[in-house]
Structure 1
Amino acid sequence: MSYRGLTWDHPRGLNALAAAQGPVTWEVQPLEGFESAPIADLCAEYDLVVLDHPHLGEALAHDCLTPLDQVFAADDLARIADGAIGPAYSSYAMAGRQWALPLDAATQVMALRPDLAETPPTSWAEVETLSQQGGVALSLAGPHAALSFLSVCAALDDALDMRDGGWPADGIAERAYDILAPLAARTPAHTKTLNPIGLLDLMGRADDIRLIPLVYGYVNYTRASRPVAFQDAPRAGGRPGSILGGTGICVSRRAQVDDTLRDHLLWLMSDATQRGFIPDHDGQPGLRSAWADPKVNAAWGNFYSQTAATLEAAAIRPRHDGYIALQTRASAYLRDAFDARTPAPQAARRLRDMFEASQPERTTA
């Protein structure tokens, strides 16, 4: 049996899946599509969908995914859970079931040009000092203003975990806003519309940016014409603050899973494949063993070893049905608030109001 799969249009999202030559024909859509396209529409058309964990609430509300305990043996899922790095596996658990395999692990980390920023900052205070010298850009386009904000909140609050409906306390939100506001004001104007891929592409071919303190890590840019290095996200006293990204493979309700597909997916998540085939084909593996592998690190500029601590400590976003739209609205609000120099208490209250209004039970007809 053959299957249709949908992934995202980037070497990290496509190359390994396409090269695997399994029973799946993979098609692509832009990264922004996964940040906005209704998941139920995608699952109606495709057997396998690669998505990010914040889409789970929407997917479960529309009952368009097959829980993986109906696809795989418990021992197979337990092995993958034990081997996954950080919350890469657990982020796809919701309502007592597992909904995706963590093929790709990522989180927001620090990106820099080592030839332009010889000593990487380790704290937000050091980022602020470096920013005053120029060449420091925040990731603000699309949903990323909100994601940067939540990452700083995670740096300020070690216990922040929003997977079950939490939100940063107002005091934490105000401090995070005050950290980001001056950095946003100094971010070069021509970079503010660039998504993470665009930012890293610019960093890897020109000298406009020497540091991005928070951006989703893409191992591929360690091999850019002007190589980009990656380090742990900045701290504000505790853990390196970051919001989990990455992608998982989901099985839609329309798929009729056979042993060939099941074996292929387990092969993709095997230790040997994650440490060899996936990184050899531009992928970013989801198992801890690959991130710690000396050969994998040597081939990719130590991307994995230099950012693994951030991934292990990454916070999980809200996942309720309505969060994806909130993420977009909150980012637009933050960009406007930074430009308008809105006071932090006012911004924090507005963001909390937006979060509360996004909850399904608060939606009115």
Structure 2
Amino acid sequence: MARYVGLTWDHPRGRLALERAAEQATDAAGERLIEWHVHSLEGFESSPIEELAERYDVIVLDHPHLGDALAGDAIRPLDEVFEASFLDEVRAGAVGPSTASYTLDGRFWALPLDAATQVAVRVPELVPDAPTTWGEVRELAATAPVALSLAGPHAFLSFASTCVALGAEAGIVPATEPGAGLVDRAVGAEAFALMAELAARMPEGAADLNPIGLLERMRRDRDIAYIPLVYGYVNYASGPGALRFDDAPAATAGGRRGSTIGGTGIAITTRCRPDADLVAHLAGLLDPEVQRTFIPGHAGQPGLRSAWIDDAVNAASGAFYRATLETIDDAWVRPRVPRYIRFQSEASAILRDALLAPGAARADAALDDLDRAFDALARERSVL
């Protein structure tokens, strides 16, 4: 029996590198240091972090869980556990806004093990050249099967990313603090109209698939030619049926790539009493050489920029990292407020129902519902 128990998500990218590293890790007495349990992608996206923290010592989480985690005193700030010099190196080395996403209330809460954001993906023989703007995406959808990622929380995430791109010229992004609505109404209406247009032409059944399901179907069936926004999985960028990943579309050529950062961080729960062996093991996962070799060598997706720009890492991944680097650097960081995860699920249901409904007269009602649901978080926060 291992001394510590960790929880990650059930996909090779989420579990394999952690499991292989754990096989090599022992404590001072020669016993197994940590074992990893897994839950589904849907569990990773929506399970209450406070409940998980009662059962696990180490949790792989997404940054929007921080609001609930801090409100429930579920995880430890990293400066209680790791040397300041190590944390400074991680902060400086992480790709995109990964460091910012795990920093809240002036403290750093999770090690950015894995970096990901929504990017574009295509079947190369069907779409030889990737669209660079949303106008080009519209043109492509007239002649090729284009899908959106709408299942689970992804309808909201796709909407937020589209808003980031369309509002870039005016400096408009979705709000991260509730109380004054979610997004500028004109930008929100434009994003909704664009998504509704694309949703009306989606291949049958695509709206029900999570990102892994969409990418599996693209690789296997080739009946989805292009997705403008889906969380990037390097596992689909090489091997038989390899897909091509590209930067997400901008509103205009040279504009900001609209995307919402995801990825995963390693957090230590307050129930955990980490010893020097565990601290060294977790720190080792963020070692630049481990990130460059061991993590991608075991189906992982590194969190350090040095790995993302490495020649060997890109050669082995169909240039997945360099082809999407601009997008992750531009990515938007979601709210980290209590009850946000619940809002994200509610907002996605609102958008999915409206986008897939017959007709096109649902935008105002859907945007009103989004504002109400988001601003309700401010009222709930005041009574926590």
**Do the two structures share a fold, i.e. TM-score over 0.5?**
yes
Stretch deviating more after TM superposition (343-352 or 201-210)? 343-352
Aligned to 1:221: 236
Stretches of 4+ aligned residues off by more than 6 angstroms? 362-365
Aligned to 1:134: 144
The answer (yes or no) to whether the contact 1:124–1:234 under 8 Å persists in 2 is: yes
> Unpaired segments of 5 or more residues in structure 2?
26-32
CA deviation after TM superposition for structure 1 residue 266, in Å? 1.2
Aligned to 1:323: 340
Amino acid at match of 2:364: P
Q: Deviations over 1:322-359 (max 9, x none)?
A: 11111111111111111332343333222112211233
RMSD of aligned residue pairs (Cα, Å) = 1.6
The answer (yes or no) to whether the contact 2:246–2:320 under 8 Å persists in 1 is: yes
The answer (yes or no) to whether the contact 1:137–1:184 under 8 Å persists in 2 is: yes
Aligned to 1:234: 249
Q: Deviations over 1:94-149 (max 9, x none)?
A: 11211100000000000101111111111111111111113111001011000000
- Secondary structure class of the residue paired with 1:142: coil
Pairing 1:194-343 to 2, within 5 Å after superposition: 194-237=209-252, 238-340=255-357, 341-343=360-362
- Secondary structure class of the residue paired with 1:192: helix
- Secondary structure class of the residue paired with 1:283: coil
- Secondary structure class of the residue paired with 1:89: helix
CA deviation after TM superposition for structure 1 residue 163, in Å? 4.3
Task: With the length of structure 1 as denominator, give the TM-score of the two structures.
Answer: 0.96
- Secondary structure class of the residue paired with 1:25: strand
Stretch deviating more after TM superposition (164-173 or 102-111)? 164-173
Amino acid at match of 1:14: R
Match of 1:351 among 370, 377, 382: 370
Q: Deviations over 1:227-279 (max 9, x none)?
A: 11100000013211000100000000111111111111111001101111000
Amino acid at match of 2:139: T
Alpha-carbon distance between aligned partners in 2 of 1:79 and 1:244, rounded to the nearest angstrom: 21
Q: Deviations over 1:287-335 (max 9, x none)?
A: 0000000100000000000001100110011111111111111111111
Aligned to 2:3: 2
Aligned to 1:98: 108
Alpha-carbon distance between aligned partners in 2 of 1:39 and 1:362, rounded to the nearest angstrom: 17
Aligned to 2:194: 179
Amino acid at match of 2:370: L
Alpha-carbon distance between aligned partners in 1 of 2:299 and 2:107, rounded to the nearest angstrom: 30
Aligned to 1:119: 129
CA deviation after TM superposition for structure 1 residue 364, in Å? 7.6
The answer (yes or no) to whether the contact 2:354–2:363 under 8 Å persists in 1 is: no
Aligned to 1:39: 49
Alpha-carbon distance between aligned partners in 1 of 2:232 and 2:242, rounded to the nearest angstrom: 13
CA deviation after TM superposition for structure 1 residue 53, in Å? 0.4
The answer (yes or no) to whether the contact 1:219–1:300 under 8 Å persists in 2 is: yes
The answer (yes or no) to whether the contact 1:110–1:214 under 8 Å persists in 2 is: yes
Pairing 1:12-51 to 2, within 5 Å after superposition: 12-21=13-22, 22=25, 23-51=33-61
User: Are the structure 2 counterparts of residues 286 and 362 from structure 1 closer, same or farther at C-alpha, using a change threshold of 3 Å?
Assistant: closer
Stretch deviating more after TM superposition (63-72 or 19-28)? 19-28
- Secondary structure class of the residue paired with 1:277: helix
Aligned to 2:206: 191
Alpha-carbon distance between aligned partners in 2 of 1:363 and 1:189, rounded to the nearest angstrom: 43
Task: With the length of structure 2 as denominator, give the TM-score of the two structures.
Answer: 0.92
Alpha-carbon distance between aligned partners in 1 of 2:19 and 2:231, rounded to the nearest angstrom: 23
The answer (yes or no) to whether the contact 1:174–1:347 under 8 Å persists in 2 is: no
Alpha-carbon distance between aligned partners in 2 of 1:136 and 1:169, rounded to the nearest angstrom: 27
The answer (yes or no) to whether the contact 1:291–1:308 under 8 Å persists in 2 is: yes
Aligned identity (percent) is 51
Aligned to 2:80: 70
CA deviation after TM superposition for structure 1 residue 223, in Å? 2.5
Alpha-carbon distance between aligned partners in 1 of 2:362 and 2:296, rounded to the nearest angstrom: 45
Alpha-carbon distance between aligned partners in 2 of 1:224 and 1:31, rounded to the nearest angstrom: 23
The answer (yes or no) to whether the contact 2:9–2:38 under 8 Å persists in 1 is: yes
